[in-house]
Amino acid sequence: MISGKTSFLGLIGNPVKHSVSPAMHNAALEEMGLDWCYIPLPCEVENLELVIKALKALNCKGINITIPHKNNVARICDQLSPLAKKLNTVNTLIPHQDKGWIGENTDVKGFLEPLRYKEWNKKKALIIGCGGSARAVLEALIQLQFEEIKIIGRNKTKLNKFVQERQRSQDELISLNIQAILQEDKELEEHIANSELIVNTTPIGMSTNTSEAKISNEMPLGVEIWENLKPKTTLYDLIYTPNPTSWLKLGRKKHCKTIDGLEMLIQQGAASLKLWSNQENIPIETMRKAAENELLN
């Protein structure tokens, strides 16, 4: 029940109406006995700074950031965690004691959880897309010690900036084999055939309305390119609406292991809630059930 004492958390993005985060977080808040609620806050790019500053003035207890604001929000933060600074990407805002917001990134942790079932070191990976979440995915794959990571983008300038930024910020003593590949590359099919893990970080295939909208038949890089997909390849789609996407459905037909974005969403959400609430025990099972129920509605 919302009362005069209720505080709030929010999700800033565009679109946000497809998100299961409100259902997932509100279920957890109730179980944790916190008099907070979590609300979706659709926001245009030009209003981002204004909205974020206003939310601090309104004593908002924490914010999640989603598509397309993850990169832009980093420059609005008053402080960045070392990870958010390294990636220049923020998905979680924590209120600063004195002023503004501290930017953090919990996507890396969330993305890693479903991949922990096996060793990936010395394997080859392909990331499709080079936006906000791709930065978190790249960091996670580096942590898993992939031998080679190729990143496919549609915009040469953005793609090169993405790879150079990462190479500049790399202070570990390992030499990273990270390559930028343009979407038009003639050897795309070969790159796909050589990869043990392929991650879609673009919104292609995403339905922005879980109940009404028609399910998108689109696939990243088109449909034909996946014709010769090998069963040794794992497909990981960050999208969770629809669940599974057309791309993952095709992967299953080709006997590939497939991972959808739901577990990542749950794990990154739990990590954010831990930071906002300062509590160790987050009811992850409750969050999972609430998210799954929301997807069925």
Closest CA to 28 of 289, 210, 264, 278: 289
Distances (CA, A) of 21 to 60, 70, 127: 16, 16, 24
Closest CA to 192 of 234, 144, 245: 234
Q: Does 131 bind ligand NAP (CB under 6 A)?
A: yes
Q: Which of 207, 268, 272, 277 binds ligand NAP (CB under 6 A)?
A: 268
Stretch 55-74: interaction string toward ligand NAP, x if CB under 6 A: -----------xxx-x----
Q: Does 103 bind ligand NAP (CB under 6 A)?
A: no
Of the listed 61, 70, 86, 150, which one is catalytic? 70
Q: Does 132 bind ligand NAP (CB under 6 A)?
A: yes
Active site residue 70: yes
Q: Which residues are registered as beta bridge partners of 94?
A: 102
- C-beta closer to ligand NAP: residue 94 or 259: 259
Shortest CB 155 distance to ligand NAP, Å: 4
Q: Does 209 bind ligand NAP (CB under 6 A)?
A: no
Shortest CB 55 distance to ligand NAP, Å: 19
Closest CA to 139 of 161, 170, 116: 170
What stretch of H or E contains 251?
Answer: helix 246-253
Q: In what order do the strands lie in the sheet containing 7-13?
A: 36-42, 7-13, 62-65, 92-95, 101-104, 79-80
Shortest CB 101 distance to ligand NAP, Å: 18
Site size toward ligand NAP, by CB under 6 A = 28
Give the span between the Cα atoms of 115 and 143, in whole angstroms. 12
Stretch that binds ligand NAP, among 50-58, 236-244, 248-256, 276-284 (CB under 6 A): 236-244
Q: Does 22 bind ligand NAP (CB under 6 A)?
A: no
Q: Does 284 bind ligand NAP (CB under 6 A)?
A: no
Region at 65 (left for phi over 0; alpha for psi -120 to 50; beta for the rest) = beta
Burial class (CB in 10 A: 0-12, 13-18, 19+), 34: middle
Give the span between the Cα atoms of 261 and 166, in whole angstroms. 24
Q: Does 133 bind ligand NAP (CB under 6 A)?
A: yes
Q: Does 158 bind ligand NAP (CB under 6 A)?
A: yes
User: How many alpha carbons fall within 13 Å on the CB side of residue 248?
Assistant: 21
Q: Does 100 bind ligand NAP (CB under 6 A)?
A: no
Q: Does 10 bind ligand NAP (CB under 6 A)?
A: no
Closest CA to 180 of 201, 209, 159: 159
- C-beta closer to ligand NAP: residue 37 or 262: 262
- C-beta closer to ligand NAP: residue 11 or 29: 11
Active site positions, annotated = 70
Binding region for ligand NAP (CB under 6 A): 66-68, 70, 107, 110, 129-134, 153-155, 158, 201-204, 206, 238-240, 261, 264-265, 268
